[in-house]
Structure 1
Amino acid sequence: MQRDAHGLPVTLSSAEAATAFDAVVSAYLAYAQDAPQKLKAFVALDPEAPFAGILRGSFAMLTYNAAALPSARKSAALAVAAGGTPRERAHAGALSAWADGESDQALAIWEAILAEHPTDALAVRLHHFVAFWLGRGPQMAAAIERVGPHWDRDLTHWASYLACRCFAFEEVGRYAEAEAAGRRAVELVPTDVWAAHGVAHVLEMQGRRGEGIAWLDGLEPQWQGANSIRHHLLWHRALFHHERGDRAAVLRLYDEGFRNLNSPLTQALPDMFVDIQNAASMLFRLSLQGVDVGDRWTELADKAEGRLDDTQSAFTLPHWMMALGATGRFHQAAHLLHAVAEAARGTGTNAAILARSGLPACRAVLHHARGEHEQAVAALRPALSTLGELGGSHAQQAVLEILFLDSAAKAGLTEDARTLLERAAGRCPVPPARRVDYAAIARQVAH
């Protein structure tokens, strides 16, 4: 029996395989570009190990791409058959549940693992990831806080834990604690992109735009080995510039940064779900501000056409719809809407979310694109209180608030506009009057 970097027993054939296993986990936690290569090296050394299947399946699920589901399910079955320690069997069970659309069950299993093994870095991060993409900020923060007494600076992945603490606490409004944890993580490991990301969120939520630009500018040289999380960090920088009214900087960061079509990262994963969210949400914000975005919507709509039946990522769906609507591809948009409606009639965590929130959001986006603003408000109004379950941060979720607000204003639905502004004020310490996408309408309905 081998042991991992935190001393937990792992069913592996050799010390060499244990070293390779630790390398995969470290690369995953670091959002490293070479994590898939490290996974292949580990599997080649010990293909029958329970964690070979667990990691392969988890990496497939992390893409939120329906095309990866068969691979994830096959890996989960192999992991279950491999047996191993009780902890390994639990990990295999969590992966099986996740791949079958039962994300609530997967979260419960990871929480059970952490109750017994609170320093299981893989369980911490997988729980953190899935809870986030279900909009479960309190659940994410509670899990991080429960294991906290068992973590300290002597653990290999201490900085990674601090990064998760930063982001989880930011999402529940504990900004001072979040910022302290994130800055400490970056001090310890300057390349920790998740910690850099968490602090950027704190600065965004507090309206500290100049600090946010400086923070990300200063750290960018540290991201050379990171995967497409780099694009999301550049999106955050563009969002700071957007709030300051510097549209030229936003478009430059779009073309040369987070949606650089010549980037090897983009070319390797041209329809990566977070990249699509970054691009579509920024183009949507700019368009509502009267900025000519040229033909930038076209390639996003082209990507959307290839994913019309893929409903794995609930939060990405309204972004696909934005691209289709912006390019007048209403037949394709109707196809996507039908696929979401069909998926919403299924079983499992994602189906319920699509029914409550995903389908109303997609309908609202399509109505907005058609100029049917009263219908857009009517479609989204019942789901306003549940939109968070689509996943995404408060900063990302704002694009759906902005859409509702724009339609309410254009339809003359003043009370709906006020309701949305009050919701926005309750979710962010920066008042709507100081947020560029809300300010003009906030002034209009002030009396």
Structure 2
Amino acid sequence: MYTDAQGNALTVASAEAARAFDHAIEGFLKYRFDAGLRLKAFITADPSAPLGQVMAGSFAMLAYDRGLLGRAAGSLAKAQALPANAREKAHMAALSAWIDGTPEKALSVWEQIVAEHPRDLLAFRLHHFCAFWMGAPERMVTLVEQVMPAWSDETAGYGSVLACRCFAHEETGSYTIAEHAGRDAVALDRGDLWAAHGVAHVLEMQGRRAEGLDWIAALEPNWDGGNNLMHHLWWHQAMFMAEQRDFDGVLRLYDTRFRNRESKVHLAQPDLYIDVQNAASMLFRLQLRGIAVGDRWEELAEKAEARIGDTLSAFTQPHWMMALAASGRRDAAARMLTALEDAARGNTHHARILRDAALPATRAVALHAEGRHDEVCDILRPALGDLHRLGGSHAQQDVLEQIFVDSAMKAGRQADARLALERAAAKSPVPPARRVGFAEAALAVAY
């Protein structure tokens, strides 16, 4: 019987295959650019290993791209045809639920796997990912605290568990626990992108902008070989700069780091959801502050138009609309809303999120671009309590709150502006008057 580095039984043909599995898992957890190649090496080492196919299907699902559903289903079918132990079969059940559009069922299966196998890093990390993008950070915290007693710094992968502990607690407002966990993970590996990211979120939420810039600058030399999570960390760097009103610096980072417009390579960049969110939300924030962004919307709008009808990522929908609306593509924007309305008519958990949160947020973006600010307020106000269900961090969700407060001010709706400021004050220890997206409203409206 072979086991992985955490002691879980593996259905593999050799010790070499078991170590190839560990190498692939490490690449996934540490956000390495070659994670896909590591997985390919594992499958090559043992084509009959069921978790190789489960990982291949999961990697396809992680992209939130409807065009990859067939690939994920094909990998699942291959896995189901192979001999497997009970834990590996449970992984197949979770992947099946995810592919079928019921990620809430997948969460429950992963939770059961981890209850029985607290060192199962694949189940733990996939749960962390999906719970986050389903707006359920409390489930992230519950699971990480459940497994912590089974881990120590002598166990392979401990730093990745600490990194997840950091982000889970940051998203639920336990900033002290979060920061300690993240810094401990970075002490174990200064190239741990997820841990660096979690601490950056803490510094963002606490308004520690100078520290945030220093944190990223100090760690960046350790990021060689990382994947596009580096783009998101540079987005955080831009967020710190924006709060210091260094808008020229933000645009430089956009062009040379997280969108890299100065390289021809950017034209062939995949439309991966997190990269789109980074780019669109930053351009939108800049425009709210009256900063001209030139033709930067165009390549995003091209990608957005090509993805109309792909609603797997609820939080990406309003970001696609930002690009379509800002580039004047009204016909495409209308088609996107129609497709989103169709997807929201279902009776699944995801369809309800689209209906209650993604659809009003996406409509509001389109209306905001047309200057119809009363309508923005009418649509967004009843949906504010549901926006968290879109997934995304507090820092990312903030752009949707800024749309509401901006329209409230422009429509002269002081009650709505006051509501927006009260929400902003409740979500962050940093007063709205010290946050660039809310400062003007805070000076004008008593709250």
TM-score in same-fold range (> 0.5): yes
In structure 2, the partner of 1:75 is 75
Q: Distance in 2 between matches of 1:268 and 1:10?
A: 38
**2:11/2:83 contact within 8 Å kept:** no
Q: How has the CA–CA distance of structure 1 residues 267 and 127 changed in structure 2, closer, same or farther, with 3 Å as cutoff?
A: farther
Q: Match of 1:319?
A: 319
8 Å CA contact 1:131–1:140 kept in 2: the answer is yes
Q: Which runs of 5+ in 1 are unaligned?
A: none
8 A contact 1:103–1:348 mirrored in 2? no
Q: 1:132 to 1:102 in 2, by over 3 A?
A: same
Distance 2:273 2:263 in 1: 16
Structure 1 residue 160 corresponds to structure 2 residue 160: yes
**Gap change, CA 1:435 and 1:356, over 3 Å in 2:** same
Residue of structure 2 in register with 1:233 after alignment = 233
Aligned 8 A contact 2:318 2:358 in 1: yes
Q: Following TM superposition, by how much is the alpha carbon of 1:77 offset from its aligned partner in structure 2, in angstroms?
A: 2.3
1:37 is aligned to 2:37: yes
Q: Does 1:357 align with 2:336?
A: no
1:367 aligned partner: 367
Q: Alpha-carbon deviations, 1:188-211, whole Å to 9, x = none?
A: 111100000000000000000000
Do structure 1's residue 274 and structure 2's residue 274 form an aligned pair?
Answer: yes
Deviates more, 1:397-406 or 1:38-47: 38-47
DSSP-derived class of the 1:187 partner: helix
The answer on whether the counterparts of 1:228 and 1:265 sit within 8 Å (CA) in structure 2 is no
Q: Give 3-state SS (helix, strand or coil) of 1:437's partner.
A: coil
1:173-197 per-residue CA deviation (whole Å, 9 max, x = no partner) reads 1101100010010011111000000
CA contact (8 A) 1:163 1:182 kept: yes
| 1:116 is aligned to 2:120 | no
Report the equivalent of 1:66: 66
State the shift of 1:83 in Å. Answer: 4.2
Are the aligned partners of 1:205 and 1:430 in contact in 2 as well (CA < 8 Å)?
Answer: yes
Q: CA deviation at 1:383?
A: 1.0
User: For 2:377 and 2:230, how far apart are their aligned partners in 1?
Assistant: 34
Measure, in 2, the Cα distance between the counterparts of 1:171 and 1:346: 29
**Hey, what does 1:10 align to over in structure 2?**
10
Q: Which amino acid aligns with 1:179?
A: E
User: Are 2:401 and 1:401 aligned?
Assistant: yes
Q: 1:83 to 1:420 in 2, by over 3 A?
A: farther
Task: Confirm or deny: 8 A CA contact 1:80 1:93 kept in the other structure.
Answer: no
Q: Specify the alignment match of 2:92 in structure 1.
A: 92
Aligned to 1:20: 20
- The percentage of aligned residue pairs carrying the same residue is 56
Instruction: Name the counterpart of 2:183.
Output: 183
User: Residue type matched to 1:247 in 2?
Assistant: F
**Is the Cα–Cα contact under 8 Å of residues 77 and 96 in structure 1 kept in the other structure?**
no
Cα offsets for 1:156-182 (capped at 9, x unmatched): 000000000000000001101100010
Q: For the residues of structure 2 that align with 1:153 and 1:377, how far apart are their CA atoms? A: 50
Give the aligned partner of residue 106 of structure 1. 106
Deviations 1:307-341 (CA, angstroms, capped at 9, x unpaired): 01111110011000000000110100011111111
Superposed CA deviations along residues 360-401 of structure 1, whole A, max 9, x for unmatched, are 111111110111111111111111001011010000000000
Amino acid in the other structure paired with 1:12? V
- CA-CA distance at 1:269 after TM superposition: 3.9
Tell me the distance in 2 between the aligned counterparts of 1:252 and 1:77: 46
**Rounded Cα–Cα distance in structure 2 between residues aligned with 1:109 and 1:3:** 21
AA at the equivalent of 1:394:
H
Q: Could you say which residue in structure 2 is the equivalent of 1:285? A: 285
Greater shift after overlay, 107-116 or 44-53? 44-53
Amino acid at match of 2:106: A
- C-alpha deviation, 1:420, in angstroms: 1.1
Amino acid at match of 1:36: G
Asked whether the equivalents of residues 227 and 265 of structure 1 are also in contact (C-alpha less than 8 Å), the reply is no
Gaps of 5+ in 2: none
- Give the equivalent residue in structure 2 for 1:436: 436
Matches within 5 A, 1:290-305: 290-305=290-305
- Amino acid corresponding to residue 251 of structure 2 in structure 1: L
SS at match of 1:131: helix
Cα displacement string for residues 284-313 of structure 1 (whole angstroms, at most 9, x for unaligned residues):
110010101111111111110110111111
Q: Which of 36-45 and 276-285 deviates more?
A: 36-45
Distance in 2 between residues matched to 1:158 and 1:286, nearest whole Å: 39
Q: Distance in 1 between matches of 2:445 and 2:236?
A: 29
Query: Matches of 1:83 and 1:378 in 2, distance apart?
Result: 55
How far, CA to CA, are the matches of 2:52 and 2:9 in structure 1? 15
1:172 counterpart residue number: 172
> C-alpha displacement at 1:348, in angstroms?
2.6
TM-score (norm 1): 0.98
CA distance 1:265–1:121, change in 2 (3 Å)? farther
- SS in structure 1 of the partner of residue 385 of structure 2: coil
SS at match of 2:236: helix
- Other-structure match for 1:249: 249
Q: Distance in 1 between matches of 2:30 and 2:45?
A: 22
- Inter-CA distance 262–95: structure 2 relative to 1 (3 Å threshold): farther
User: What is the number of residues matched between the two proteins?
Assistant: 447
Structure 2 length-normalised TM:
0.98
Residues 1:252 and 1:424: Cα distance change in structure 2 (over 3 Å): same
Q: SS of the residue aligned with 1:429? A: coil
